[in-house]
Amino acid sequence: MTTTHGLRPTPWPRRVAAGGVTLLLAAAAAGCSGRGAAEGPHPAQPQARVLAAGPPAPRPVTTTAAPRPPAFAPVVTDRIPTPSVTLPLSAVVPGTTNMQPAAADAFARAFAAARAAGLDPQIRSAWRSAAFQQVLFDRAVARYGSVQAASNWVLPPSRSAHVKGYAVDVHPQAVAAWLEVHGAAFGICRTYANEWWHFEYLATSTCPPRLPTAAG
């Protein structure tokens, strides 16, 4: 890929001595971050800061500043994580096994907060292998009579957030109700109107509107 920077190289600042240019070029050629070279030419900065701190600085205006949203680790919603644990098709998957790390961490922290609030959060189903999700989907098609009807409750492996490793079915309902209120603080949202138990880690403090069903 060609970058704009590559097409039009930025000229070096004139105040940089020729020796400095050579040093920076050598650092760049070596794949170095250039941090040592960049720190070298500015020894006077800390002193300048001390001098500036003499008179009282004006107070920053805070009344118009928007509150900072919580920082969340990203979750990759179209990625199926590489399983770290291999399990037989019908085996029970313990806890957050094989989930995307950011999602597993968010649910662990949310459940700890729920326990602190006196609840007993439990995971009914979290990560599922694509093979197991296919079994569940085939059963749903047989039960509901069509792929479309089945997709209201069970998605095929290619679309399932359980297979992609960022969904958890929680229990009991009191925990789900708690998560509906407090989940967004952890980046966790209820996503479907017809499934009170199904929550997804979406790495957002503002949950999107719920879909009527998993089929959309």
Site for Zn ion, rule CB under 5 A: 169, 198
In 133-195, at which residue ranges do the beta strands (DSSP E only) sit? 167-171, 188-190
CB of 191 to Zn ion, least distance (A): 9
**Pairing verdict, β 198-201 and 167-171:** antiparallel
Taking the least distance from each CB to Zn ion, the nearer of 164 and 198 is 198
CB of 162 to Zn ion, least distance (A): 6
Distance of CA 103 to the CA centre of its chain: 7
CB of 200 to Zn ion, least distance (A): 8
Taking the least distance from each CB to Zn ion, the nearer of 186 and 191 is 191
**AA letter at 177:** A
CB of 201 to Zn ion, least distance (A): 12
Q: How many Cβ atoms from other residues are within 10 Å of residue 136's Cβ?
A: 19
**Angstrom distance (rounded) from CA 116 to CA 14:** 60
CB of 151 to Zn ion, least distance (A): 13
**Which residue lies nearest Zn ion, judged by its C-beta?**
198
Taking the least distance from each CB to Zn ion, the nearer of 37 and 162 is 162
Taking the least distance from each CB to Zn ion, the nearer of 169 and 180 is 169
Taking the least distance from each CB to Zn ion, the nearer of 105 and 195 is 195
**Angstrom distance (rounded) from CA 98 to CA 163:** 9
Q: Hey, is 138 helix, strand or coil?
A: helix
CB of 168 to Zn ion, least distance (A): 7
Q: Please report the DSSP string for 27-65 in residue order.
A: HHHTT---HHHHHTT-TTHHHHHHHHTSSPPPPPP-TTP
Taking the least distance from each CB to Zn ion, the nearer of 166 and 178 is 166
CA distances from 92 to 123, 125, 182, 197, 198 (A): 11, 9, 28, 18, 18
